[in-house]
Chain A
Amino acid sequence: MPRPFTTFATQLAIGFALLASLAPSTHAGPRQEPKAVAKQVDALLAAELFKSQTELAPACDDATFLRRVWLDLVGDIPTPEHVIAFTLDPSADKRERAVRELLADPQYGLNWARYWRDVIFYRRIEDRALIASNALEADLSGKLNKNVPWDEIAAAFVTATGDVRDNGSTAIIMAQEGRTEETTAEVSRIFLGMQIQCAQCHDHPYDRWKREQFHELAAFFPRIGVRPVRTATSRSFQVVASDRQFKFAKADDGNRPMPEHFMPDLLDPSAPGTQMQPKFFLTTAKLPYGTVDSQRREMLAKYLTRNEWFAVAMVNRLWSEMVGRGFYEPVDDVGPDRTAVAPETLEILAKGFRDADYDVKWLFETIAATEAYQRQSRPRGGAEDESPFAANVPQPLRADQLYNAILSALDVPEAEPKRPGRGGGGLGGQQRDPRTQFNQTFGFDPSEPRESISGSIPQSLAMMNSAQVAGSLRANRGVLSGLVAEIKNNDELVAELYLRTLSREPTEEELTRAKTYFREVGNRKQAVEDFAWALVNSAEFRHRR
């Protein structure tokens, strides 16, 4: 294999030529107000989708809205005090204020960093990648809280190098072991919502993408690799980039830096294959052979983030998380050969997101301000699929949301992880802290269609019997003992339990049933324990309405 040789001057010349070749920026207009865009979205949805006979779900009540927006934005449930204060607040703009306050809370960044952690690591090709998860959480939550624009965040993932325990942006590359083709597939899926890797082995039957185009995209990533780092005190991995044949201590197992990418020969897998030039499949952008790694990945980051689909993919994903279904489904199966349910509405949002310079909080604020978001929930299937966005959709909580909800409902402080912040679990990805263990039982891949997520027996067992949950439901200690002692009236006690778990007051019917139950059991403490247990184990607790 010839070693690429380019002088600094040629590189410079290439660089200038490249910058000139970039498509003009997609940011066309001035930044718009979230409320104004939300109005346009609702008007367009009505025009595009709703017919006279479409039954729109009414706006949800304040308590439902508050629990929903808390779970969506900060991944936790509001306290009884929050619920009461919010429902009693007479001001007209209280919902938008609540949204803004939550977006300013540090829990917002952490909640969404954990969401992206799951997006990235559920597709890991090896479990050791999990040692990068703490760094990812720490870095990304910081960026999201600072409201670093989405294109900058994406560029950092695409161009990352360094120790995976120090630089959280290495997560995507680490999750794919630095393998050229796998990393390419994930970058396309996560940031463009396109699964071009299906063209990896054969031309995709439902898509225009050709095998060459996938491998031309992969040609942006041949010069990276992941290698173990061992010091006296710790073991880690680092993402390395090299513009030479890299010297690895061990034999090549497919993830070391190579000067160029080769498309394998399908008929003869042992043949070297065809050398591929870096080309971006959505435009005519390309780079010459021999381009150094830093330039390859920086340019790719620019091509990605200046492409119209970059905004579309993000809008589609966040809308789907908030409203319960995407314009395109699954959320990461987007593209010119797919059909969006309300294409004009999607474009209005995407344009707003571009005009706001990829301001992620702007996007949350805009979606949360729509009527589509604020409607009552109806399940998917049946009527909802006939008329998308006529209602919100109940969503099963992600593991972190559920864990937070349990801690909040039962007033249990979160155990400090043994090594806060940096680092990660063992090399097998086994972290022993309670949250991680909980996530192993309750976690799911957030890119999967939510209706395909079903409960499991171990989850049921953990909710019903685990020391963590069951242990906090004793009336002789912890939160229940305080409530039993303080609140003498059973109706008030039951109302408090409802507020703590479901963030709402019980209905008349529910109160009546509770009365009967307390009478039948005869032992107040036992009845309270049973009630708290049943509420925490209810479907409503494990969902957001």
Chain B
Amino acid sequence: MAFSLQHHTHVSLRGNRVVRRRDFLKASAACGLAASALSWTDVLAARADELRDRGMACILLWMSGGPSQFETFSPKPGHANGGETKAIDTSVSGIQIAENLPHMAKVANELAIIRSMTSKEGNHQRATYLLHHGYLPMASVKHPTLGANVADQIGSAASELPSFVQIGGRLPNSGGGGLLGVDYDPLIIQSASKPPQNTTPSSEATRFARRMQLLESMQGDFAAAGGAQVVADQLKVAKRATDMIHSPRMEVFDIEREPEQVRESYGSGEFAAGCLMARRLVEQGVTFVEVHARGWDTHQDNFAAVRNLCGNVDQPSARLIADLKERGMLEKTLVIWMGEFGRTPQINPRGGRDHFPKAFNVALAGGGVRGGQVIGATNDAGTEVTDRPVLIPDLFRSVYHTLGIDADYENMSGGGRPIKIVDGGEVVEELFS
């Protein structure tokens, strides 16, 4: 796009939406864009600015491997399938969750717990893709992942920081910019306790500036030989990168700068550090942050394993929500707590639970979602959704709706084929009423 749709540098009509005029004509009919007085880019720019001004953000707490619903937000203490897991009261009368989440219980008044999530995809790789993109993988279309779409639609244009950050290393099948291009790939932070890769300048600041000047001055020959646009584009990206690493805002990646008291309030461990960094990032204008917690694939020894896993994520997740609230940021920040599917009601011979996409749970907080409620239900055995089934496209549509993004917006795939951000589904209205 000629204008900066987000602060990532955009160069000419790129990012694979409309590369050539012929595609544009094919596409504009599909987008229902009449040749009006406003140019196509004007229409988009106007729309985009309006959205960006709202300052919405999203934090995805991703429980990789498929967290057991019985041991988290949907305990079944009265049934054999519930196993040894007890239910505890929360800050909302009438809502109980599993004993493994005492901190989350205290912030239940902010939580909307969906207990009736249902899908058919029980394979880790495909389900991880599905719960990140809202689509199943297809060889012919590179869907942008949730974070990339959000960054594209409402990323902040003025920030030196990237709009989309993933904390906790690369997660297979969690996707990236896809057809939106590399500008929308996440900046990946291996660990919240280390600075992001290659952000330490290779020489001290004055020399770095001198080198950049040299670089600018020496590219005349290639520019004259037809590479002018390429040179300009590359310098633009290099400047962005340079601005970013020399920006005082890079401190945002250093959680050591938080008062000790604050750091302690999040608890200890990688996930706690990631949650704290996520809050710092959103505070500084980053639009989408994903924090990974691994190890939820509890095929054996489910009860001890989940107790342990919850020990790592319970306090940080709850503290993140409370912290956002105290800082007046929760209203504009949607927090999503989920994994790729749930786990079987049946406890297997190894004391584990296997993959179960048919009925699982997701918890949401903030961003205008009404807390203190449970949506949907399963039967006593936890084997069937008995009330208000929520499908994956419904969930995605609701998330985009919360963030003020039109889920019917069509991205253009390389072949000029329009791909909606979400295909079908309906907003879960109860979340907002």
Contact = CB atoms under 8 A, between A and B. Distances in A.
Interface of A: 123-128, 175-176, 182, 185-186, 189, 195, 197-198, 206, 251, 253, 329-330, 333, 376-379, 381, 385, 391, 394, 396, 428-430, 440, 444-445, 448-449, 451-462, 464-466, 470, 473, 507, 509-510, 513, 517, 521, 526, 530-531, 533-535, 537-540, 542-543, 545
A457 B125 contact: no
Interface in B182-223: 182-183, 185, 187, 197-202, 207, 210-211, 214-215, 217-223
B198 A458 contact: yes
A123 to B, nearest CB: 4
A486 B121 CA distance: 64
B125 A127 contact: yes
A455 B233 contact: yes
B389 to A, nearest CB: 15
Interface string B221-260: 1110111111101110110111011000000000000000
Contact of B222 (A454, A470, A540): A540
B415 A195 contact: yes
A127 B140 contact: no
B122 A531 contact: no
Contacts of A452: 14-16, 19, 181, 414
B417 interface: yes
Interface of B: 8-12, 14-16, 19-20, 26, 121-123, 125-126, 129, 137-140, 142, 162, 170, 172-173, 181-183, 185, 187, 197-202, 207, 210-211, 214-215, 217-223, 225-231, 233-235, 237-238, 240-242, 244-245, 414-415, 417
Tell me which of A185, A198, A538 has the highest count of chain B C-beta atoms within 10 A of its own C-beta. Answer: A538
Contacts of A440: 170
Given A377-B226, A452-B19, A333 B415 contact: yes
Contact of B172 (A127, A329, A448, A465): A127
8 contacts: A253-B126, A385-B20, A452-B19, A456-B8, A456-B183, A462-B198, A464-B202, A465-B202
A252 B200 CA distance: 49
B364 to A, nearest CB: 27
Nearest to A385: B20
B186 to A, nearest CB: 10
B126 A457 contact: no
Contact of B241 (A333, A464, A543): A464
A420 B7 CA distance: 41
Contact of B197 (A376, A458, A535): A458
A192 B108 CA distance: 56
Contacts of B14: 451-452, 454
Given A329-B20, A464-B241, 20 more contacts: A125-B126, A125-B129, A127-B125, A182-B138, A206-B26, A251-B122, A376-B225, A379-B229, A428-B170, A440-B170, A448-B414, A456-B237, A465-B245, A473-B202, A513-B218, A530-B211, A530-B214, A539-B223, A539-B235, A540-B227
Contact of B233 (A126, A175, A454): A454
B324 to A, nearest CB: 27
Given A126-B173, A531-B214, A510 B187 contact: no
Contact of B198 (A123, A251, A461, A538): A461
A465 B198 contact: yes
Nearest to A269: B120
A175 B139 CA distance: 9
Most buried by B among A330, A531, A542: A330
B286 to A, nearest CB: 13
B126 A126 contact: yes
Q: Which of B129, B185, B240, B414 has the most CB of A within 10 A?
A: B414
A534 B19 contact: no
Contacts of A445: 142
A464 B207 contact: no
A530 B140 contact: no
A206 B29 CA distance: 13
A65 B263 CA distance: 59
A425 to B, nearest CB: 11
